[in-house]
């Protein structure tokens, strides 16, 4: 996703008797409250860009300016200052004819309250944008029917809006925007009027459709959990300004200020954070070529009860202290013979909600591996618990499991014997 679909450059919107003076004063450092005699500042110096094919969420409480921004993006409102570019074409510095062309071909909007035509069928509503574009009836109906199938309304094409539930009517609005063929969808609180269960279903369906169709979506919401679920990136607004712009993980783990931190404190972190966000570097490892002797040394140095065995950075399995002790006593040197290859693994992009159960099942940290099974990190249980509780772990470098005192005592003569060249049987009582 390298192509830029939409850009907003230093947008201001001031409503009132002297908007231009309000902008000048804002640029000079005055606050929103300071310029009330000139007008109400709805948006102040907002800049961002949206990549082709991503879901970009603008979120904030009522009065934060998010709905004003989305109306400036498609020219429904003219910025007091600043510029909007859609696929390189200016929305704010263009003629009325060119603006209509941009709206017909490049951008569609899905409204909170559906905005369906009550006297038209579901199919005709879905095909309406194509009708405006001059597409023939047969072609537009075929394209609309295809999209209705995708949103689960294929059998409802001949119904009228008043025969549908709220969730179904919102699906028609979404189908109309998708049928238009525009690359960019603007969605203003599109799901906020729906019941919670239907709302969740619509969120999941939107993500699936975006992955299938590759549309660019700018989504407005006041619901942080919705923003975290949908957004590839999120712009958080407060009092007309964008106070943070980043990925859900960045906003959750590194809030820009106290306002954002308070906003995210009640978010279900397990559905946002991934393994890569909480994993530790895989320090406690040993190559297979190090043999039993090398594994024993690492275990002793870190007072750990298990380490990961790797070969060319790829995870082979886990080696435990007890397995090493038995191998030393038996005079074994090949580490591969004592590796437990049933170790549980997770991927870097796995959500915490999907890995918590696996963390409970394993006595060693979860191994994080990429698609080539390279060991890229580990998640000790204490780090996982700290992430779930939104508290920092006591250290960023955690041993796998602390070795019991009696095990450490048994290790010492073993290591000394191995390093001195003495036979294991002659050094330690079997």
Q: How confident is the model at residue 405 (pLDDT cuts 50, 70, 90)?
A: very low
- Among 156, 234, 169, 157, CA closest to 195: 169
Instruction: Say if residue 124's pLDDT is above 80.
Output: yes
Instruction: Give the pLDDT of residue 65.
Output: 94
**Of the listed ranges 155-169, 187-201, 328-342, the one predicted with least confidence:** 187-201
Between the two ends of the chain, the Cα-to-Cα distance in Å is 62
Tell me which fold the domain 4-106+182-267 belongs to: Rossmann fold (3.40.50)
Instruction: Say if residue 414's pLDDT is above 80.
Output: no
Q: Which residue has the higher pLDDT, 262 or 271?
A: 262
Instruction: Give the pLDDT of residue 401.
Output: 43
Quickly list DSSP for 113-161: T----TTS-HHHHHTHHHHHTT--HHHHHHHHHHHHHHTT-GGGTTS-G
What DSSP state is assigned to residue 279? P
Instruction: Say if residue 232's pLDDT is above 90.
Output: yes
Instruction: Say if residue 262's pLDDT is above 70.
Output: yes
Instruction: Give the pLDDT of residue 372.
Output: 93
Instruction: Give the pLDDT of residue 416.
Output: 57
> Averaged over 374-383, what is the pLDDT?
89
**Is pTM beyond 0.85 here?**
no
**Of the listed ranges 3-17, 109-123, 332-346, 414-428, the one predicted with least confidence:** 414-428
State pLDDT tens for residues 208-219: 888 888 899 999
State pLDDT tens for residues 312-323: 999 999 999 999
Residues 295, 286: contact at Cβ < 8 Å?
A: yes
Instruction: Say if residue 417's pLDDT is above 90.
Output: no
Q: How confident is the model at residue 393 (pLDDT cuts 50, 70, 90)?
A: low
Q: How far apart are CA 276 and CA 349, in angstroms?
A: 6
State pLDDT tens for residues 136-167: 999 999 999 999 998 888 899 999 998 988 88
Question: Domain-by-domain residue ranges, the chain?
Answer: 4-106+182-267, 276-419
Q: Tell me the residue length of the chain.
A: 430
CATH 3.10.580.10 correct for 276-419? yes
Q: How confident is the model at residue 396 (pLDDT cuts 50, 70, 90)?
A: very low
Instruction: Say if residue 229's pLDDT is above 80.
Output: yes
Instruction: Say if residue 347's pLDDT is above 90.
Output: yes
Highest mean pLDDT among 53-67, 95-109, 122-136, 379-393: 53-67
Q: How far apart are CA 287 and CA 415, in angstroms?
A: 18
> Averaged over 11-23, what is the pLDDT?
95
Sign (positive or negative) of CA dihedral 34, 75, 211, 122: positive
Share the mean pLDDT of the chain. Answer: 86
Instruction: Say if residue 399's pLDDT is above 70.
Output: no
């Amino acid at each position: 996703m390298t192509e830029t679909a939409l850009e907003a450059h230093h947008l201001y919107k001031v409503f009132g008797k002297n908007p231009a003076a309000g902008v000048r004063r804002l640029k000079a450092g005055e606050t929103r409250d300071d310029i009330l005699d000139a007008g109400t500042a709805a948006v102040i110096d907002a800049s961002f860009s949206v990549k082709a094919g991503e879901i970009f969420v603008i979120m904030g409480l009522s009065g934060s300016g998010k709905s004003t921004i989305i109306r400036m993006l498609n020219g429904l409102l003219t910025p007091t200052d600043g510029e909007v570019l859609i696929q390189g074409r200016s929305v704010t510095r263009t003629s009325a004819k060119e603006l209509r062309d941009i709206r017909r071909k490049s951008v569609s909007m899905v409204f909170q309250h559906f905005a369906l035509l009550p006297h038209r069928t579901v199919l005709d509503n879905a095909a309406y944008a194509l009708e405006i574009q001059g597409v023939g009836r047969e072609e537009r109906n075929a394209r609309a029917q295809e999209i209705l199938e995708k949103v689960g309304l294929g059998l409802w094409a001949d119904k009228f809006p008043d025969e549908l539930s709220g969730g179904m009517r919102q699906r028609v609005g979404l189908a109309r925007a998708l049928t238009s063929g525009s690359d960019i969808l603007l969605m203003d609180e599109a799901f906020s009027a729906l019941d919670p269960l239907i709302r969740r279903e619509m969120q999941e369906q939107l993500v699936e459709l975006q992955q299938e169709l590759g549309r660019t979506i700018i989504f407005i919401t006041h619901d942080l959990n919705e923003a975290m679920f949908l957004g590839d990136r999120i712009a958080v607004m407060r009092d007309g300004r964008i106070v943070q712009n980043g990925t859900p993980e960045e906003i959750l783990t590194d809030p820009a200020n106290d306002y954002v931190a308070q906003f995210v404190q009640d978010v279900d972190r397990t559905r946002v954070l991934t393994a890569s966000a909480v994993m530790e570097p895989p320090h406690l490892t040993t190559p297979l070529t190090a043999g039993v002797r090398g594994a024993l040394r690492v275990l002793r140095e870190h007072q750990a009860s298990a380490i990961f065995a790797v070969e060319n950075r790829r995870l082979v399995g886990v080696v435990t202290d007890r397995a090493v002790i038995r191998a030393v006593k038996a005079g074994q040197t090949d580490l591969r013979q004592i590796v437990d290859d049933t170790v549980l693994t997770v991927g870097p992009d796995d959500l915490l909600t999907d890995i918590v159960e696996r963390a409970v099942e394993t006595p060693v940290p979860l191994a994080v591996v990429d698609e080539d099974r390279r060991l890229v990190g580990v998640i000790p249980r204490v780090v996982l618990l700290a992430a779930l509780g939104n508290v920092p772990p006591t250290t960023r470098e955690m041993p796998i499991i602390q070795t019991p005192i009696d095990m450490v005592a048994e290790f010492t003569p073993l290591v000394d014997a191995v390093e001195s060249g003495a036979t294991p049987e002659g050094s330690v009582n079997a």
